[in-house]
Copies of this chain bind each other. A is one copy, B any other.
Amino acid sequence: MDGGNILIFALASDSHTQFFFTLLVMFVAAKLAAELFERLKQPAVAGEILAGVLIGPSVLGLIAPSELTDALSELGVIFLLFLVGLETKPADILRVGGRALLVAVLGVVLPFVAGYLLLWAWGKPQIEAIFVGAAMVATSVGITARVLGQMGLLNTVTSRIILGAAVIDDVLGLIILAVVSSLAKGGINYAQIATTAALAIGFTVIVALIGARAINKLQPRIQKLKVGQSYLVFGFSLCLVLAYVASFIGVAAIIGAFLAGMAMSESAHETDMPIQAEAVTEFLLPFFLTSIGMKLKLDALMNREVILLAIVVTILAVVTKLFGCGLGALSLGLKNAMRVGMGMVPRGEVGIVVAQIGLGLAAVSDAIYGVVLVMAVATTLIAPPFLVLLYKGEKVENEERIFPITPIS
């Protein structure tokens, strides 16, 4: 295992400086855009994603996506979901479980069918149509969680339904992706898909049900550890363990991080941990948001037909989640249904990953990959301002919050 050459590459002066240049440009561009958007009374999240579009290959070309930016981006969204989990008690999610399931299922079926039918009607190959449908299923809950968190609204019923539905949505999306991938490889492996589904469901349900109880029992022992900041260190460790297990099983790592946070939500009150986890998130999250924007490749939109298709796919992606998920929450009234629907609209990095797998299996063309990128980034940009509008005037339930986040002005 001779890592010598890699090391020299990474540490020699030039690439070393390049490393700090990348960090600096991504972080500062994101935060300048956030500042500008806050002054314009727009959600900071949208500004940070647009900053990524600006510095990325599509516009200025200052920074190209790399393994490093992906790693930081992944860490950013992991910590965000861990933090959101810390604010979410398992009982709160279980209470809205039935409705969340309905929201998730309708929010999976409608976009998939619509995406498939559109591409099929547009004359694309069946396997490509199926992949676009699968990419339209994905929900990137990080964006919505950040917007609601900054508004101090993570503890509303609609926020809980969105979080619960996002977890279920991810498990359903995993099963669809497994089916779609085996189709692209030539045939469906039922045993493998059943195993994937059982593992994903088993992991999520078991951790959600017994995680908090186990951590509550462990807490006195954790605080007796000699290592400095033992509770924080335990939290980071649990977050990494569950993110790894989730990723190993095939569920998104963020689901593991969210479950880790949720497992600690009851015992974290008594510690500095939420403020500390928030600081880590503040540092890492801009890399996630700018990374999404950086992935947009406008040069893939080579002709009018592709541009038109990108626009139609994006509209369909917004409308089907809004109606599908909204329908599932309609019993809470029209306004709340629209909040839930809009909260599920962003596709972000999850949609991009699905399209990348299709590209890797040669089931998706470069043009359609570009279309999915536009859809993923556009849905992620469209949702935040509408969320702010839909939640305007909603009372911040400060008494239930375990730590304060600066609200959007």
Residues of A bordering B, CB below 8 Å: 1, 3-4, 6-13, 16-17, 19-21, 23-24, 27-28, 31, 34-35, 38-39, 44, 57, 61, 64-68, 70-72, 74-75, 150, 225-229, 232-233, 236-237, 240-241, 243-244, 247-248, 250, 253, 272, 275-280, 282-283, 295, 353, 356-357, 359-360, 369, 405-406, 409
Residue of B nearest to A360 (CB): B8
A–B complex contacts, Cβ < 8 Å, 27 sampled: A1-B64, A3-B57, A7-B65, A8-B356, A9-B67, A10-B66, A10-B67, A10-B70, A12-B356, A12-B360, A16-B74, A16-B247, A23-B244, A24-B241, A31-B227, A34-B228, A35-B225, A35-B226, A38-B227, A39-B226, A150-B228, A229-B282, A233-B282, A236-B282, A236-B283, A272-B275, A275-B279
On chain B, the residues within 8 Å of A353 by CB distance are: 11
Q: A237-B31, A282-B232 are contacts. A70–B7 as well, Cβ < 8 Å?
A: yes
Residue of B nearest to A225 (CB): B35
On chain B, the residues within 8 Å of A406 by CB distance are: 228-229
Question: Would you call A20 and B228 a contact (CB within 8 A)?
Answer: no
**Which of A72, A240, A241, A243 has the most chain B CB atoms inside 10 A of its CB?**
A240
Query: What's the Cα separation between A250 and B16 when bound, in Å?
Result: 10
Residue of B nearest to A41 (CB): B226
Question: Would you call A3 and B65 a contact (CB within 8 A)?
Answer: yes
On chain B, the residues within 8 Å of A39 by CB distance are: 226
Question: Would you call A356 and B17 a contact (CB within 8 A)?
Answer: no
- Out of B4, B35, B277, B359, which one reaches A4, CB within 8 Å? B359
On chain B, the residues within 8 Å of A20 by CB distance are: 240, 243-244, 247-248, 253
Residue of B nearest to A72 (CB): B71
Q: A11-B356, A65-B7, A236-B282 are contacts. A71–B19 as well, Cβ < 8 Å?
A: yes
